[in-house]
Amino acid sequence: MAGIGVMIEGQDGLNWERWRRICTDAERLGFASLRRSDHLFSVFGVEGRDALDCWTSLALAADWTKRIQFGPMVSSLTWHYPAVLARQAAAIDVLSGGRFVLGVGAGWHQVEHERFGVPFPTLKQRMDNYESGIKLILQAWQRTLPKPVRNGRVPLLLGGGGGEKRGLRIVASYADEWNLTNADTEIYQHKLNVFLGYCKDVGRDPNTVKRSIMQGYLIGANESEVLERAALVKEVVPRFQDMDARQVAEERSKMWFVGTPDQIAEKMRGFMKLGVDLFMLQHFLQDDREGLELLASVLPAIA
């Protein structure tokens, strides 16, 4: 059994009206989780796009929804102080009745840091800060009042798929959810084997770690509708602009979920055999309510 979540790139055109509508629709349609990125401006490098502050929007999501799990994916510890972030997470968790998940990362987008005057340390220093920051977050929850709803802490979501030497060891040591981005089943199997090895090394039961993947999607009731959405995605993601719609769909079919609901469900079942239990799908077309409705029709096929 697996679930599907909605992932919003909040720095590429999200505004308050859209965010409220997405929160309402994601919950109404039965999605398992709603998450959004935490960036300061468009990571695609497109000037003039709205970029809603992540944590303000998450506090509102706690009030605007009643059932769905939600959180950042992920907040960089290059510009969030760990203990302060832990207290913010605890507050939103209490406000939402225990539905919050805290995703944190080491930081990667150098241009973003430079534009806003945020220091961007070396990779080694960022990874050092990341691991020590996770420990500080866990310690902070022991002192925070009011305490988070579930056993005095908030579930931690960590990535680390790209860092096999250190990132996945950190995941094995601390994560409540491990998220891997843009992987086919072959890549996922390889990363999973590394993760399982680290779980053995650190004495962690791998079954205590939820497994999720994040990818984009292009859905349609038929091929024509898939291509219509591929043409629209070209306007959001600049690197697709020199392709036609069919080229976008074909190029993305390896790493995204592309096709009809039945085709997408079939691809998901391949990941489910490897233990994936949550699919976080990037909803690039933020006004496409019909696309979300169609995506929700996949839920019964993988439940």
- Tell me how far apart the alpha carbons of residues 284 and 7 are, in angstroms, rounded to a whole number: 9
User: What is the phi/psi pair of residue 182, to 5°?
Assistant: 50, 70
CA angle 58, 61, 65 (to 5 degrees): 155
Q: What is the pLDDT of residue 55?
A: 98
Q: Evaluate the omega torsion of the peptide bond into residue 171 and state whether it is cis, within 30 degrees of 0.
A: no
Segments of the chain assigned E as strands: 3-8, 33-36, 69-72, 75-76, 102-105, 156-158, 177-181, 210-219, 257-259, 278-282
Question: In CATH terms, is domain 3-302 a member of 3.20.20.30?
Answer: yes
Q: What is the pLDDT of residue 1?
A: 84
- Tell me how far apart the alpha carbons of residues 193 and 195 are, in angstroms, rounded to a whole number: 5
- Tell me how far apart the alpha carbons of residues 82 and 91 are, in angstroms, rounded to a whole number: 14
- Tell me how far apart the alpha carbons of residues 74 and 159 are, in angstroms, rounded to a whole number: 8
Closest alpha carbon to 188 in 254, 123, 252: 254
- Tell me how far apart the alpha carbons of residues 209 and 181 are, in angstroms, rounded to a whole number: 16
Q: What is the pLDDT of residue 182?
A: 86
CA angle 160, 166, 169 (to 5 degrees): 75
Q: What is the mean pLDDT of each run of 10 residues along the chain (303 residues)?
A: 96 96 98 97 92 97 98 97 98 98 96 95 96 98 96 94 87 97 94 96 97 98 98 94 95 96 98 98 98 98 93
> What is the distance, to the nearest Å, from the Cα of residue 5 to the centroid of all Cα atoms in its chain?
9
The percent helix, strand, coil of the chain (3-state, each to 5) is 45, 15, 35
Q: What is the pLDDT of residue 163?
A: 82
The answer, as to whether pTM is greater than 0.85, is: yes
Q: What is the pLDDT of residue 25?
A: 98
Q: What is the pLDDT of residue 247?
A: 96
